[in-house]
Structure formats: structure tokens, C-alpha cells
Chain A
Amino acid sequence: MASSGRLAALSVGVAIGAVAAYALLLRVPVVRNHPEAYVVAFALAAALAVLAMVRARARRWPAWLALFLSSLLLVAGGWYNFVGARVPETPTALRVGERPPDFTLPDAAGRPVSLADYQGKKPVVLVFYRGYW
């Protein structure tokens, strides 16, 4: 049977470990594309903290601290992943098997580039991204 103090330490470790792992491994597609994993880790940390609370006798503050930290992360992380980071669905002009609308836009040097420039020459990977951040 693990003591309350150990459970509280484990809870904090899981919570901080999840934040660190997500931040450090953001470039790894499987980590980046499964952000719900950190929410699961925060839930686990909260469960450990509750267990620490139940087991606590004299010294309660480590369990309180673990519970405070893990529930804060669980609420904030859960909200961000399931609400804040959601991108609303929009009807797109993209259909497999069809040509998308042509366009002309300036490149970094100001030269105009059209999608049609590549037609009959090269396959194109077209990426829309949010900008430099």
C-alpha cells in the first residue's frame, strides 16, 4: 500500500511529466496528433491525488497540492483540447478527383505563382498553414 505522500508525489510527477513530454515531443507526429493523451494523463494524476487524499492522515498538504495541480491541469487541458482548439467544420472547395479553384499569389520575392503553372508538369503538395508561429 503506497503512502499518501508517495501517491501525491506520483500524481505531481505524472502531471508535470505529461506537460514536459508533450512540449518536448511536439515534433513527433504521433504525439502532436494525439493531444487527448495529455488530458488522460491529467485525469490519471487527479485520480492519484484523490487516492492520496483518502489515504492521508496527519500531513494532508501534499495531497491537497497534488489535487489542486492535477485538477487545474485537467480542467484547463480538457477545455483547450475539446473546446478551445477545435476548428469548426466548413464546406471546402476540395473534392478528390476534381481540380480545385486556380489562384495566383505572390511568393516571398513578390513573383506571382499560379497553381496552373504546375499543370502538366509536376504533382503539387499544397499546404495551407496559419503563419509563422
Chain B
Amino acid sequence: MAELRGLGARLSEAEQAGIAIIAVSPDPNERSQKLADGFRLGYRFLADRDLAVTRRYGLVHAGGGPDGDVPRPATVVLDRDGVVRWFSVSRNVQVRPDPDDVLRAVRAL
């Protein structure tokens, strides 16, 4: 969540209105959505309960969580045509992309 908040806090209101931030996790997400709404961040949290989509993207960390598989933390910037312009996949669970790097990729679109 920290990286999501970091990104939202750096975006102006106009920028927030101009892009969609979609967060995918195996959680049911009611809590995440409430939290994001509380921070007035325009995120949509999508639930990938069985990790089917995460798996199709090749982003499963096998046995990485207490209950088995979890997603590899990843951030992808897609342009208006849905083409990948920048992405970052974590190689250490402690590390997330720097929000400034994500922002630079978004502003370069």
C-alpha cells in the first residue's frame, strides 16, 4: 500500500483525473478500496482471487506467502493505446519502484 499512497500523493488532481490506477491483488479489496477512498485517491482495486491473471502475466512468486503463492510486486505504465511504456518487477519483497520513477514514466507519455 505504501507505494500506492506515495504515487497518489505525488499526482496533481488533474493528473489523477487523466490516468487510471488499477491495483490487482488476491485480496477481496474492500478494505483497500475504503482506505484509498479515505485518502481520496482514484484507484480501482481488482481482486484476482486465484491469481489467474497474475499467473498469465508471469508475475507469481511461488510459495512466497504464508499461504502459498503471492504476486511478485510489479508496476506497469500503459499508454492510451494500452501499450506498455515502462514497467518494474520487484526482485526483493522489501523493494518497490520509486514513485518518482513511475511518475516520470507517466509524465513522459
Interface residue ranges, B against A (CB under 8 Å): 1-4, 6-7, 18-33, 44-48, 53-54, 56-62, 64-65, 70-87, 89-96, 98-100, 102, 106, 109
| B89, A92: Cβ atoms closer than 8 Å | yes
Residues in chain B near residue A103, CB distance under 8 A: 53, 56
Residues of B contacting A: mostly: mixed
- In the bound complex, residues from chain B placing their C-beta under 8 Å from that of A27 are 2, 6
Interface size class, chain A: 35 or more
Question: Which residues of A are in contact with B by a Cβ distance under 8 Å?
Answer: 26-27, 29-30, 32-33, 35, 81, 85-101, 103, 105-109, 113, 115-116, 118-132
Q: Is the CB of A94 within 8 A of B46?
A: no
A-B contact pairs, 15 of them (CB 8 A): A85-B94, A87-B61, A87-B64, A90-B59, A92-B89, A100-B78, A113-B44, A118-B20, A124-B21, A125-B78, A126-B24, A126-B76, A127-B74, A128-B57, A129-B25
